[in-house]
Structure 1
Amino acid sequence: MTSLVEAPPRTGLATGAAAVTVVLWASSFVAIRHVGTEFSAGSLALARLGLGSVFLGALLFARRRPEPAVRRWPAHRDWLPLIACGVLWFGVYNLALNEAERRLDAGTSAMLVHIAPLLIAVLAGIGLGEGFPRQLVIGGLVSFAGIVVIGTSTSNGRAETWGVVLCVVAAISYAVGVVTQKPLLSRLPATEVTWLACTIGAVVCLPFAPTLVSELRTADAATIWWTVYLAAFPTALGFTTWAFALRRTSAGRMGVTVYAVPAVAIVLGWLLLDEAPTVLALAGGALCLAGVAISRRTA
């Protein structure tokens, strides 16, 4: 009886956390567009992950945790998936995507990177034993169709080969990182997993430290504040709410939920950058949201 009473609030919290993640990750596209004019791909990744690690560490160590059972350091078996998650999702993903967006238009990038949720669903279905629920498959395909429509409406028709390769690398890194993170969340607190993975990603980006120092000298104050925003909100808070939600639902379902990010990004670009979307882009966004709604329905 107790589990039946407590299930709706837990489901509601996970849905709310997923929604926060979607909005924050969508807002990062606006920030990256501005910061990318003054910071190179490696510098931006290092600044974002380094500051994100500091913010997450402050949150983790300043917070009181009344349950001693969850305060332990990761066990030996946890380190391999932690390193994989940090290197791939936080490190390689950020580096590859930042560089790819310098070579490809937004539409093409969106189509390529958003093969990741389908990869997550496949990897989780096979590797984590989540299977392939019909609603998840239908929702994922509907959302992916929306991504293709958005990409078609914004693409300039040109795709540099190296940019395409980088987007595919980013998508694969993203998918593998999520699937390696999921089992960790059953044994470790979400904030701890996120902080350690973010810190590992920052270490991966340390070779770009000299370039970051050089670019900081010429960057204007607005660019630096946008970078702080990227670290504090889409990175520190966004990845924490993602981990919180992922702990309470399947990796496949959370992966499809991320299809809402391009739809929200279109709206934010319209409101904050005065970039009016085409009718086709709006239709694609509606398809993305419809697919997410289908995938998150309970049977």
Structure 2
Amino acid sequence: MKFINRIPEPWLVFLSLFGAVLGWGWAWVGIREAMHYYGPGQLALGRYMVASLTLLPFWIGRGARLPEWRHWPLLIVMGLSGFTLYNFCVNLGEKTVTAGTASLLGSFLPILTTLGAWFFFREKLTFRGWSGIIIAFVGVAATSLGAQGNFQLSHGALLVLLAVFFAAIYGLLIKRMILRYRALDVTTWAIVAGTIGLIPFGSGLVQTAAHAPWNTTVNLILLGIFPGAICYALYSFALTRVNMARVASSIFFMPVTSIILGWFLLGELPSGIAFIGGVITLWGAYLVNTSKLLK
């Protein structure tokens, strides 16, 4: 803890977002692998049971503080939108949508959260910031299209888009809650609420885990620990230090991360278009992150 306190705050924010994007970028690949054996609801429930067990000891160690009763409805909505509905829709969508296409659709999240922050919290970006968002989206499109070869709006794609909408709701609500409570506490409460909401969708999880290959189950556990728990905690911490639009813009790095990890883990080599798209994405995200926020 003393070592962390000596790290300059800008670096803490950068490292938090870097870790979150790296973990979430891998999640698209990990989900695709796990879906060969686990159903959408089973995978979601299993992941967030692990995520809950990962975060609860830290919450208990800090005194197991509970939120005020008047905030429980908001936390339940956060859990249902950000974890129950989001993960079920993503998993179901990735049955027919490739990881690259899904990550492209996920790039709508910063746009939705930026617009939501502008509408609800009066957060605005300069022309440079908005230009960066547009440029980064073009880069994400080029990266994903170059990696997958085609893009078609299908039933699965619509499910992923619906998941992105639920994720935006969570992102906007957590910004309010972390003004009142510790970011890690809010994340823990929301994940536990979302896990409870996933129980009806996870029928047969134990039986599937008993017959699935051990490496697939290990993959599920790692998806729960890292993208499921730690990445959300890191993202929540970053939200307490910088504005929502700037934090959300880091999501643009996620498809690039997915393709790089797919290259190493699945043997998928990115094309020249994908590489160029990655450079464009980095440029756009740089513009957003270096733009001056208008209050």
TM-score by length of 1: 0.90
The corresponding residue for 1:220 is: 213
- Structure 1, residues 125-157: CA drift from partner, whole Å, max 9, x if none? 111111233332122111111121123223454
Q: Is contact 1:263-1:286 (8 Å) kept?
A: no
The corresponding residue for 2:230 is: 237
Q: Is contact 2:144-2:255 (8 Å) kept?
A: no
Amino acid at match of 1:83: I
Instruction: Give 1:63-82 correspondences, 5 Å limit.
Output: 64=62, 72-82=65-75
The corresponding residue for 1:3 is: none
- Hey, what's the Cα distance between the residues in 2 that align with 1:11 and 1:104? 36
In structure 2, relative to structure 1, the CA distance for the partners of 1:160 and 1:140 (3 Å cut) is: closer
- Hey, what's the Cα distance between the residues in 1 that align with 2:59 and 2:241? 20
The corresponding residue for 1:151 is: 144
- Structure 1, residues 32-90: CA drift from partner, whole Å, max 9, x if none? 2221111111100000011101110012223x57xxxxx74212342233222211111
- Hey, what's the Cα distance between the residues in 2 that align with 1:90 and 1:139? 29
Amino acid at match of 2:178: L
- Hey, what's the Cα distance between the residues in 1 that align with 2:58 and 2:110? 29
Instruction: Give 1:51-62 correspondences, 5 Å limit.
Output: 51-62=50-61
Q: Is contact 1:106-1:154 (8 Å) kept?
A: no
Select 1:101's aligned residue among 91, 94, 97.
94
Q: Is contact 2:92-2:156 (8 Å) kept?
A: yes
Amino acid at match of 2:188: W
Instruction: Give 1:70-149 correspondences, 5 Å limit.
Output: 72-149=65-142
Could you say what secondary structure the match of 1:275 adopts? coil
The corresponding residue for 1:68 is: none
Amino acid at match of 1:24: G
Could you say what secondary structure the match of 1:188 adopts? coil
- Hey, what's the Cα distance between the residues in 2 that align with 1:24 and 1:83? 25
Could you say what secondary structure the match of 1:296 adopts? helix
Could you say what secondary structure the match of 1:154 adopts? helix
Measured after TM superposition, the shift of residue 298 of structure 1 is 4.8
- Hey, what's the Cα distance between the residues in 2 that align with 1:189 and 1:86? 16
- Structure 1, residues 163-213: CA drift from partner, whole Å, max 9, x if none? 132122111111111001111111111111111111111111101333212
In structure 2, relative to structure 1, the CA distance for the partners of 1:22 and 1:59 (3 Å cut) is: same
Runs of 5+ consecutive residues of structure 2 not aligned to the other structure: none
- Hey, what's the Cα distance between the residues in 1 that align with 2:187 and 2:291? 28
- Hey, what's the Cα distance between the residues in 2 that align with 1:99 and 1:107? 15
Further displaced range: 75-84 or 178-187:
75-84
Runs of 5+ consecutive residues of structure 1 not aligned to the other structure: 1-5, 66-70
Instruction: Give 1:239-254 correspondences, 5 Å limit.
Output: 239-254=232-247
The corresponding residue for 2:258 is: 265
- Hey, what's the Cα distance between the residues in 2 that align with 1:113 and 1:251? 16
- Structure 1, residues 243-270: CA drift from partner, whole Å, max 9, x if none? 0001111111111111111111211111
1:28 aligns with 2:27: yes
Select 1:177's aligned residue among 170, 173, 195.
170
Give the count of matched residue pairs.
287
The corresponding residue for 1:277 is: 270
In structure 2, relative to structure 1, the CA distance for the partners of 1:105 and 1:209 (3 Å cut) is: closer
Measured after TM superposition, the shift of residue 240 of structure 1 is 0.5
Moved >6 Å (runs of 4+): none
- Hey, what's the Cα distance between the residues in 2 that align with 1:190 and 1:158? 37
Question: Identical aligned pairs, as a percentage?
Answer: 27
1:38 aligns with 2:46: no
Further displaced range: 127-136 or 225-234:
127-136
Select 1:204's aligned residue among 154, 178, 197.
197
Could you say what secondary structure the match of 2:122 adopts? coil
Further displaced range: 84-93 or 102-111:
102-111
In structure 2, relative to structure 1, the CA distance for the partners of 1:30 and 1:155 (3 Å cut) is: closer
Amino acid at match of 2:14: T
Measured after TM superposition, the shift of residue 12 of structure 1 is 2.2
